[in-house]
Amino acid sequence: MATATTDGAYTFDNGSPDAVPQMQALESFLDPITMRRLARPVLRLGARCWEVGAGGGSMARRIARAVGEDGHVLATDIDPTHLVAEGNLHVRQHDVRTEPPPGNAFDLIHARLVLLHLPDRRRVLRTLAGALAPGGWLVVEEFDCTAPLRVLTAPSDDAAKLFAQVMDTMMGVLQEHGADLGWAQDVHTEMALAGLTDLDTITHSQSWVGGSTGTSLYDTNSRQLEPDLLAAGLSPNQLHAFRRLVRDPGFAVMSYHFVSTRGRLPG
C-alpha cells in the first residue's frame, strides 16, 4: 500500500525493495482479523466489492473467493504493481484522493491503512460512503499510533530506550508527511456523520517477539523512512542497533493497536 504525503509523494512506496516484505508482514498479521470482520452479514455470495489501496492484493483475493463466481471485486491502488487480475478479481490504477469512485452501488468497500495517511481523509471517507449500495457496508481499518508501544522484554534498559527513541522519531516523520496518528479513534464518529448505521468498532493488539513477522515491520519501515529518520537526527549506528534489536529473540513489544470500524448504508 502506497501512502500519500502532503506534497503528493508517498511515504511508503510500492516500488521500494522493502515494499514486498512490508506488505507480507502486514497481511500475515491483519488478514485473519479483517476476514473475521467481513464475515456475514457484511460479505455475501454475489456481492460487488471495492478494495481501496489494495497493496499486495491478499485481501482482494480473499474477498474474491468469498463472493464466488457471481461476485465482482475491484482492487485499486495508486501503484498496482503487485496486483494481478484473475477471474472475478479486476485491477485498476486509481487515486482515491483525486479521482471519483470507479463505480457505485458497491455492497462492500474496504480500506485498510489508507485514510490515516491522507490529509483529506474525512472527505475521502464520505466519498466512499457515497459509493455504497443501499444496505452496503464500509469497513475502514487503521493503526492507532497515539499510545507509545510498550516494550515487554529487552536485553537492556538502553535497548528499550533506543526502541522508544526511534519509534518516536518515526511517528514524527509520518506526522510531517500528513498522517493523523489518532485518526483510527475518529472513524466511528465520521461514519455516523456520513449517515451510516449498525456501526461497531473493535481494537486488536498482541505481543510481537524479536525476529517475528510482526517486528519485521519495524525493520522495513525504518529502511523505507531512513532518509527522513537521519534528517530528523538519528544516526546510522542507532538505526543499525534498532534493526538488530527487533531481530533479537530476547526482545518483545506490544503491536500497534489495530482498529477496525464498519458501518452500513441504510436501505
Judge contact between 90 and 74, C-beta under 8 A: yes
Which fold would CATH assign to domain 19-264?
Rossmann fold (3.40.50)
Which has the higher per-residue pLDDT, 11 or 77? Answer: 77
**Band of the pLDDT at 4, cuts 50, 70, 90?**
very low
In this prediction, residue 15 carries a pLDDT of 56
Q: Which residues pair with 106 in a beta bridge?
A: 132
In this prediction, residue 3 carries a pLDDT of 42
Angle at 127 between CA 53 and CA 72, to 5 degrees: 55
Give me the half-sphere count of Cα atoms (radius 13 Å) on the Cβ side of residue 127: 18
pLDDT tens across 17-55, in order? Answer: 667 878 888 998 999 999 999 998 999 999 999 999 999
pLDDT tens across 77-98, in order? Answer: 999 999 999 999 999 999 999 9
pLDDT tens across 98-155, in order? Answer: 999 999 899 999 999 999 999 999 999 999 999 999 999 999 999 999 988 999 999 9
Angle between helices 213-224 and 157-176 (to 10 degrees): 60
